[in-house]
Amino acid sequence: MCLGIPGQVVTVDRLKNWAVVESFGVQKKVSIHLIDEEVVQGEYLMVHAGCAIGKINVDDAQETLKLFEEAYFDKQE
Q: Which residues of 2-32 are buried (b: 16+ CB within 10 A; e: fewer)?
A: eebbbbbbeebeeeeebbbbebeeeeeebbb
Number of domains in the chain: 1
Taking residues 16-31, what's their average pLDDT? 97
Q: Determine the length of the chain.
A: 77
Domain around 67: 5-76
pTM of the model: 0.87
Has residue 12 got a pLDDT over 60? yes
**CATH number for the domain including 27?**
2.30.30.140
Encode pLDDT of 44-76 as tens digits. 999 999 999 999 999 999 999 999 888 876 665
Q: Give per-residue pLDDT as tens, 41-50.
A: 999 999 999 9
The stretch 7-28 carries a mean pLDDT of 96
